[in-house]
Structures are given as structure tokens and as C-alpha cells.
Amino acid sequence: MSIQIYNTLTRKKEPFIPLEEGKVKMYVCGPTVYNYIHIGNARPVIVFDTVRRYLQYRGFDVQFVSNFTDVDDKIIKTANELGEEVGELTDRFINAYFEDVSALGCGKADAHPRVTEHIDDIIAFIEVLVEKGFAYESQGDVYYRTRKFDGYGKLSHQSIDELKVGARIEESDIKENALDFALWKSAKEGEISWDSPWGKGRPGWHIECSVMAREHLGDTIDIHAGGQDLTFPHHENEIAQSEAMTGKQFARYWMHNGYINIDNEKMSKSLGNFILVHDIRQQIDPRVLRFFMLSVHYRHPVNFSQELVESAANGLDRIQTAYNNLKHRLSTSADLGDQPDIWIHKVDEAVRQFETAMDDDFNTANGMAAIFELVKMANVYLLEKNTQATVLNYFITTFERLMEVLGLPFGGEELLDDEIEGLIEERLTARRERNFSRSDEIRDLLKEKGIILEDTAQGTRWKRG
């Protein structure tokens, strides 16, 4: 079965056939860097990092690009409020972004272009649109003529007459039409700006991604992705700009992830339920947060609550414990006969279930269900008296392969028995000395490694959980 992708452009699942066999060009809209990212921003980063990983697992060479918007009204406003230079502010939050997403298990893109690095390219792109009659200058601004582009509205599936003015589109007397959007904005006093044929100014928001995607991936890309909120106007406008400029299809598959709710309410600053990744990862293991995000199909809304996060933590712990138990048993097992084939076939069936789920529009929820079936199998096998190294290794390497696809590789080396005994002895000493903070630290460390302590009248006992 080929990979099927739900394409927002056609509103149906389609077989994934890249332009060039074996290669994928993929662009994901990145953040506007004036603050730490919130968990709504984190969802597309996690989702499309996983899509990238699965495509690579399937043998594709993925060229992955995700941008930074590093000049924008909010950035300028924040920099002024803090008394910082725009570049100083954006550098700080780009570094913070990398810290947050790295903690969430997301790899860097092959390229992270910044708007300020592509000003000349943006100006040249706009000039072509003006020459072709798709754009016009008005009082130092340059606007795109939406009615000039016949396909406007095809991504959001609305006719141009039905469309309303959306986010970051402003009514203005200097525009020919309310839906016309800014490609270039004339500079206000004291703002960061660049010279252009239309005077000093800076790019509009939508033009940035059209230009950076083209510069790094070419006229036509395979997958363009982002949050559901970007469908209109941002992605709609990207299509209009890019296809008017090149005369070619801009992106063949459009992918959009669903929204995040907090305790069944829409996340918003006004409701006071706005959660920054920088803050939440101090309270919740980032691996758990990633596991939680992937426990729901990416196109569906996901509800963030303490109860659901705890459930995700328990689920991840079940997988880790099964893996730890397999590794532990491996140290005492050898190959004794011809039984492994039966179990290897069972493991292969779980892999097929995982791949079938992921081939179906990257259904990580069903992919996780296949991994939990693998956990059940492993636990049943570990009840056998004579486990064999071949089977144990096959379980272990399969767990590692599938969890790597989800961006959840297993932790460091498992603790040996003598290391555990040494830590338990240190904990007992700490308790005798009433150093309870160190005692708790050791208990937590052992718990993270899958070691459960039981304090009894006969002393402290331990087991692998």
C-alpha cells in the first residue's frame, strides 16, 4: 500500500507520489519569533517532524525547510517595548525555539531561512508580480490583486465573493479591493526598513514563505504544511502569489493539523489558558508532551488536560518498561532451539499494523495502538521460562525502530544490578542522615530507569517495573 495523504486542496486522501521518485520537498511554516512558542505552535512542529521521520523510514530522501518570520508588526512592537534591537530580540527567541523543540524531540530542518536574509529575493519576486499585473503600488505599499488570480479561494474552498477579510488583512482606502493583501509595506518612522523600488519598507507576511520556499525548494514542492489556522489567508495567498509568478503549481499536497483546546476550551490569552512550551516542559517531561500530541490523529483537535497528559505518561511508561524488561532478560538468555520464528512472525505482524496505520495519512494514534500490541506480545513472551536472545533482540530492535519514527527514542543505558544496589545504599545513607531531598532524587532517578523501590520492614527491595 502506498502512503495516502489527506490533501486540503482536494479535500480527500490521495496516494503520495512525489515529483521526483524517492525524493520529497517539504516546507512547513515556522514561527514569528517575538516570544516563546506555545503548545499550539508546538503541535505542527511535532506532527510534521514525525511525518518527515516516517517518510525517511519509508526510504524517501526528504529535503525539509521551515522558516522564521523575523520581521513583523508584533516583533517591532515587542522590541520597542523591551528597548531591544529587532535582530537582538529575534536571535534570542530563535535560540529559545530551538531549545524548546529539541526538548520535544524535533530535529532541525535542513534549512531554517529567515525573512531578513531574503529581502532582495522578496523584492525581485514582487517586481515580477507588478510587471505581470498581479500587483500594484499605492502610496509606497504594494498590494496583490486577488481578483486577478482565477484560482483564488481554491485551498479554503470558497469563492472570492464569499471570502471575508481574515487575519492580518486590513481594510484600507489605498487598496483597490478589501481582499487585496500587502506584499510590501512602506516604512513608518523609526521602524526597521529596507530600500526598494517603492521606497523604504519591509515585506508583507504572506510573500515571505512563497519566496523562501522557492529559493530553497524550487517552483513546485511536494508537501506544504502548517496549522489549520494558516489555510486562509496565509496559504491561500501563498498559492496566489507563487502560481501567478511562476505559472506552475506551487504545492502538490497541503497538510494542516488541528487546533489545541485546554480543558475543552479554545486556548487564548484572554481566557488565561495560554501555555508556553518554555514553562510547561519544566513541569511535564517533554517526551510525554510529544507522546500526548501524537496520541490523536494530526487533523483532529486535541484536548490538553492534566488527566490526559497523565494517561500519556502512563502509556509511555508501559512501553519503556517492556523495553527495559527485554533488555534485562537479554543479559541472561541464549539461543536454545528453533522456536524464534513463531515470535518473529508475530513481531513482524505488529510492524505491518504500524506501517498500515502510518501509511493511512500518518495516523500516529493507530500506530501507537500497534506498538501497544507489541508491548502485550513482549510481556507474554517474557513469561516463558526459556526466552531466546534472537527473539529478545528482535523485539528490542523493533521497539527502537518504531519509537524512533515517533521521535521517542529510548533513554540511555539501562542500569546494571550493582549500580542499582549502590544507589539504594546511597539512598539509605541519605535517609539516615535525614537528607530527604537526596533520598527522593535517587528514588526518582531509579523510577525514570524503570526501577521500583519498596521499603519494607526487612529493608528496601527493588524490581524492574
Q: Please, are residues 327 and 396 in contact by the beta-carbon 8 Å criterion?
A: yes
Rounded distance between C-alpha atoms, residue 154 and residue 72, angstroms: 27
Q: Return all residues near 84 (Cβ < 8 A) that are at least 6 apart.
A: none
One-character DSSP codes across 402-434: HHHHTT----SPPPPHHHHHHHHHHHHHHHHTT
Residue in 214, 198, 242, 190 with CA at minimum distance from that of residue 67: 214
Residue in 71, 72, 62 with CA at minimum distance from that of residue 108: 62
Strand partners, 440: none
DSSP H or E segment with residue 55: helix 39-57
DSSP 177: S
Rounded distance between C-alpha atoms, residue 300 and residue 194, angstroms: 41
DSSP 296: S
Rounded distance between C-alpha atoms, residue 72 and residue 404, angstroms: 36
Rounded distance between C-alpha atoms, residue 367 and residue 370, angstroms: 5
Rounded distance between C-alpha atoms, residue 144 and residue 129, angstroms: 8
At 135 the three-state DSSP class reads strand
Rounded distance between C-alpha atoms, residue 223 and residue 109, angstroms: 14
Residue in 37, 13, 115 with CA at minimum distance from that of residue 274: 37
Q: What is the pLDDT of residue 414?
A: 53
Q: What is the 3-state secondary structure (H, E, C) of 196-258?
A: CCCCCEEECHHHHHHHHHHHHHCCCEEEEEEEHHHHHHHHHHHHHHHHHHHCCCCEEEEEEEC
HSE, side-chain direction, 13 A CA sphere, residue 376: 8
Rounded distance between C-alpha atoms, residue 238 and residue 210, angstroms: 5
Q: Return all residues near 124 (Cβ < 8 A) that are at least 6 apart.
A: none
HSE, side-chain direction, 13 A CA sphere, residue 368: 20
Q: What is the pLDDT of residue 167?
A: 40
Q: What is the pLDDT of residue 163?
A: 74
DSSP H or E segment with residue 154: none
Rounded distance between C-alpha atoms, residue 309 and residue 367, angstroms: 18
**Chain centre distance of CA 448:** 25
DSSP 107: P
| Tens digit of pLDDT at every position of the chain (465 positions) | 699 999 999 999 999 999 999 999 999 999 999 999 999 999 999 999 999 999 999 999 999 999 999 999 999 999 999 999 999 999 999 999 999 999 999 999 999 999 999 999 999 999 999 999 999 999 999 999 999 999 999 999 988 877 754 444 455 678 999 899 999 999 999 899 999 999 999 999 999 999 999 999 999 999 999 999 999 999 999 999 999 999 999 999 999 999 999 988 887 767 777 799 999 998 999 999 999 999 999 999 999 999 999 999 999 999 999 999 998 888 777 766 666 789 999 999 999 999 999 999 999 999 999 999 999 999 999 998 888 899 999 999 999 999 999 999 987 555 556 677 778 888 888 888 888 888 888 888 887 776 777 776 656 777 665
Rounded distance between C-alpha atoms, residue 185 and residue 76, angstroms: 13
Residue 163's region, left for phi above 0, alpha for psi from -120 to 50, else beta, is beta
Rounded distance between C-alpha atoms, residue 168 and residue 162, angstroms: 18
Q: Please, are residues 72 and 79 in contact by the beta-carbon 8 Å criterion?
A: no
Residue in 41, 63, 104 with CA at minimum distance from that of residue 291: 104
Kindly state the cell numbers that stand for 98: 530551538
Tell the residue number behind the cell numbers 537479554, with chain if given. 330
Task: Kindly report each contact of residues 396-400 with a partner whose C-beta sits within 8 Å and lies 24 or more positions away, as own/partner.
Answer: 396/323, 396/326, 396/327, 396/330, 398/347, 398/350, 398/351, 398/374, 399/319, 399/322, 399/323, 399/326, 399/371, 399/374
Q: What is the pLDDT of residue 460?
A: 77
Q: What is the pLDDT of residue 166?
A: 44
